[in-house]
Amino acid sequence: MWKRAGAEFTGTALMVAVGCGSIAYGASAPIICLSFAVAVTTAILIFGPISGAHINPAVSIAFYRHGDLEKDALIPYVSAQVIGGLLAAIAISSAGAGTGPTTIAINHNYLSAFFIEVFITFVLMANILWIISNSKNRIIIASWIGGCVGILAFLFGPATGASMNPARTIGPNLVSEIYSSMPLYIISTIIGAWLAVELFLRISPKKESAE
């Protein structure tokens, strides 16, 4: 379990360092989206064989619901992801570039941001479930999921920051002392991923949920 948790820690730290780091250093929107896409793809390629490379508490919770993550692994996975994201945010901040926190655009309120995050996390998780059900090729899986993250970030990043991932938000926002919107991002992303699994189980009810 330590090895698997370590993979989740490192993969999440990589994603936050590269993706949020690109925001902190003022990269353009396409470069930011590409940074997240490449970081997620790389993390899956490297750490997928070890832990599955969830690098996202919402995804881990959804995989638990789907029956692909045992109960005893859920807390270690989520803890490792959150700590990895936090330490990566601290490292970015220490470099003097900020942290690239997740923020809501001024033309969106909390309610609209909440539903956007539910929707895009639902789409992400649905794509994850679809690709792992239709391919065993790790390069294809990694590229598909990374590409999905990049596209969703490009389309919805200007509105909500396109978190889709509690660990991507918790670390940078804690370090930046942006607390008020954190519950929104945590709850909405978990709901979105969970709803995708519920739909998937009803469409393809062969997989039993974890007890």
Would you kindly state where each structural domain of the chain is located, as residue ranges? 2-203
Give the C-alpha separation, 122 to 200, whole Å: 11
Whole-angstrom Cα Rg for the chain: 16
Query: What would the pLDDT profile of 111-138 be if each residue is shown by its tens digit?
Result: 999 999 999 999 999 999 999 999 999 9
Q: Report the pLDDT averaged over residues 60-66.
A: 96
Closest by CA position to 73, among listed 91, 51, 46, 102: 51
- Angle at the Cα of 185 (from 129 to 160), degrees rounded to 5? 95
Q: Percent of the chain at pLDDT above 70? A: 97
- Beta strands (DSSP E) in the chain are none
Query: What would the pLDDT profile of 175-209 be if each residue is shown by its tens digit?
Result: 999 999 999 999 999 999 999 999 999 987 554 44
SS3 121: helix
Query: What would the pLDDT profile of 15-46 be if each residue is shown by its tens digit?
Result: 999 999 999 999 999 999 999 999 999 999 99
Q: Percent of the chain at pLDDT above 90? A: 90
Predicted structure pTM score: 0.92
| Mean confidence (pLDDT) of the chain | 94
Four-way CATH pick for 2-203: 1.10.260.30, 1.10.760.10, 3.90.170.10, 1.20.1080.10: 1.20.1080.10
